[in-house]
Structure 1
Amino acid sequence: MSSKPSWGLRSVLQARDIAVNYICYAVGKEDEIDLWHFPWHPDGKISTQIPKSTTDPCLADEKMLSDIRRSDGWHPILDNDSLREEKLLLNRGIFIHDNKNIPIWKPSLDGSFSTHSDWDNIRHHSPKIPWFKTFWFIGHIPKHSLTVWRALQNKLLTKGKLCTYLPHIDTRCNLCQAHAETVDHLFFQCGYSCWIWRFVLWKFNSRRKPRVTLKDEEEWIRINRTGKGQAVTALKIAFASAIFRIWKERNYRQFQNKKLHKSVILRMINADVKERINWLQFQNEDSEEKRNTALLFGYKFNAKQPSEKNVHLDPPQPLKSSS
């Protein structure tokens, strides 16, 4: 080994103390296994489970597993009343192999090591958030989904959030210049954004008004628009695109002093949906839903033509003889 190992190798070496807790051995040759210090038991080394000061003298420190276990079971010395608890511990869940000692990775179902099972064991498990499928789905636009995720987590640096660190800044919304800029106001309560949302919902034949908060709108989509159809996917793409485009327009006005009309933002959202649906190639099969979505967003719908393998030809008819 090099005198200056790489960072990756050092990290692997440091993980050995953690990984050893997830390894045990299937017993095949008892005479090669140290009773106390070898990880042959599923619960770990015996030395960490049975205090040596309380054990019977027949279980000495230098004992091998073959001294107390035979091919037909445990040695009769474990039948003593003083070793009753030790026998119960030793006999719990031991793995047996035919002719050799085989390492077993306990977190895995088949006993083989995998980085997935390793990481799943050592990482901190948090409860799944209910709204992740609203913007992490097949066909999502990554930068749009990331912006939605940050907005739902209240991680976007709006003026309302920055004022806690910079109390003297102007907190008025860049889009309407009338109210304090927060996530909910910027995306759903501002007049500029409300106009955009009304037309986005109109595209999907929805006559309802947009919700007044981002979480309420996401919850409505998650509950009322389920499945993986083209219309549902198009709505999710439009939802994420609207959040991204409104936030981008806010930044243009804040940092570059540029302005775009609401209709331009709406055309950008329409283009995002159109390009993504075309990329996903949902037009492989014909349906009324897919034709209506194509008509709304202005892209060409081509139903998939049957391949030669699926074409059924009628058998040739016998020729009629002329009379």
Structure 2
Amino acid sequence: MVAWKMICRPKKQRGLSLRPLKEWNDVLLMKQVWKIISQKESNWWNWVNVVKLKGRDVMDIGQEANDSRGWRQILRLRDAMKTHVHKDNDGTLWWVTGENKLKPYSTGQAWKDLRSNAANVGWCDVIWFPQYTPKHAFICWLAVQQRLATQDRLKIWYPNEVFICSLCGKQEDSHSHLFFKCDFSCQVWENTKKMLVYKGLHNELGLIIKDIARYPAGKDIRNILNRIAITATVYYVWMERNKRQFMKMKKSVDAVSQEVVICSDLRTKIMLHMTCADVPSFSILYCELYAIGDASLL
């Protein structure tokens, strides 16, 4: 599957935007450190000033042998924050962001600047667009990163097993085979493409994602439909593969294509998220998709 460290990255950086508890707890504790640095008047600050600081600057003191674990944590985080603290001549404190901008301190900004970061990926908004279906997006997210449990990966643990694609029966399956070099999945994708405005999309998942990523989702029904279609196709192909592999249940190409095209998520989300400006193009697409002869009937 995917390493926990990767999952905790932002979606734009291949992750799922989950927050690791230890690092998030540190950022929340930093708010207390900021209160000490800014000398914000409170009963707790008065106690810290009298018992711990004794009139000294918190940025200058070191650890002592009898310090509690909590106070040691505060001093550790103080050190991590030093490069992000700026004091004006009038004593005003600012948080220095990763872009070297001065902003008032906030937990959200501190988290953004102190978490580990990686390069952004271009396919993020193809999968995580506003109208996405969670189960479709999650499976597609795994597929794009080649983290599904395909047979070529399972072969590492079971070298003596003979694997064969449950969809076409011609060779072992892999990400490139399932999406969409396999005869079965290729035909499902070809059927799906018939309802899309951009019919020139490739038949290889990585290239399809790049093609779709060139057009921002926005409120354009055609770009939204492309994203719904590819994530739904990947999901239903993977589900059909698993049902054949583990439950010995089979559906035809047309039946799987029908699931992709007429799934309730697809129809409902197109209707709910169209704008007035999209009505003409939506009506034509809808008629073509569901074989309605007269767009004026919509």
Offset at 1:219?
0.8
SS at match of 2:37: strand
Hey, what does 1:25 align to over in structure 2?
Answer: 38
Q: 1:16 to 1:138 in 2, by over 3 A?
A: closer
Normalised by the size of structure 1, how large is the TM-score? 0.62
For 2:220, the aligned partner's letter is G
* Residue type of the alignment partner of 1:25: S
1:37 aligns with 2:56: yes
1:110-259 equivalent positions in 2, closer than 5 A: 110-112=103-105, 114-208=106-200, 210-211=202-203, 213-223=204-214, 227-259=218-250
Q: Does the aligned pair in 1 maintain the 2:31–2:107 contact within 8 Å?
A: no
Q: Distance in 1 between matches of 2:29 and 2:278?
A: 56
CA 1:197–1:286: 2 relative to 1, 3 Å:
closer
Task: Provide, for residues 56-90 of structure 1, a one-character-per-residue CA deviation record: whole Å limited to 9, x for no partner.
Answer: xxxxxxxxxxxxxxxxxxxxxxxxxxxxxxxxxxx
Contact 1:22 1:107 in 2 (8 A): no
Distance in 2 (CA, whole Å) between partners of 1:23 and 1:129 is 39
Note the aligned Cα RMSD (angstroms).
3.8
Aligned partner (choices 69, 84, 106) of residue 95 of structure 2: 106
C-alpha deviation, 1:128, in angstroms: 1.3
- 1:258-303 alpha-carbon deviations (Å, 9 max, x no partner): 00011111111112321321233x1544643122122123399899
* Counterpart position of 2:280: 288
Change (3 A) 1:12 1:247: closer
5+ residue gaps, structure 2, are 1-20, 42-48, 63-85
C-alpha offsets along residues 218-260 of structure 1, whole Å, 9 cap, x if unaligned? 1111125764301110111011000000000000001100000
Shift of 1:20: 3.4
TM-score (ref. length: structure 2)? 0.67
Query: 1:1-32: per-residue Cα shift (whole Å, max 9, x none)?
Result: xxxxxxx99x958974796389633799xxx9
CA distance in 2, matches of 1:235, 1:14: 39
Counterpart contact for 2:201–2:211, Cα < 8 Å: no
Q: What code does the residue aligned with 1:276 have?
A: K
* Alignment: residue pair count: 237
Correspondence list, 1:295-314, <5 A: 295-298=287-290
Higher helix share: 2
1:274 and 2:274 aligned: no
Q: Secondary structure at the match of 2:194?
A: helix
Q: Higher RCO, 1 or 2 (CA under 8 Å, sep at least 6)?
A: 2
- Return 5+ residue gaps in structure 1 as ranges: 1-7, 40-44, 49-91, 305-323
CA change 1:228–1:209 in 2 (3 A) is closer
Q: Partner of 2:3 in structure 1?
A: none
Percent identity between the two aligned chains: 20
Task: Find the residue that maps to 2:210 and give its secondary structure.
Answer: helix
Q: Which residue of 1 aligns with 2:17?
A: none
Specify the SS of the correspondent of 1:127: coil
- Give the direction of change, closer, same or farther, for the CA distance of 1:228–1:299 in structure 2 (3 Å limit): farther
Matched, 1:96 2:90: yes
CA contact (8 A) 2:27 2:107 kept: no
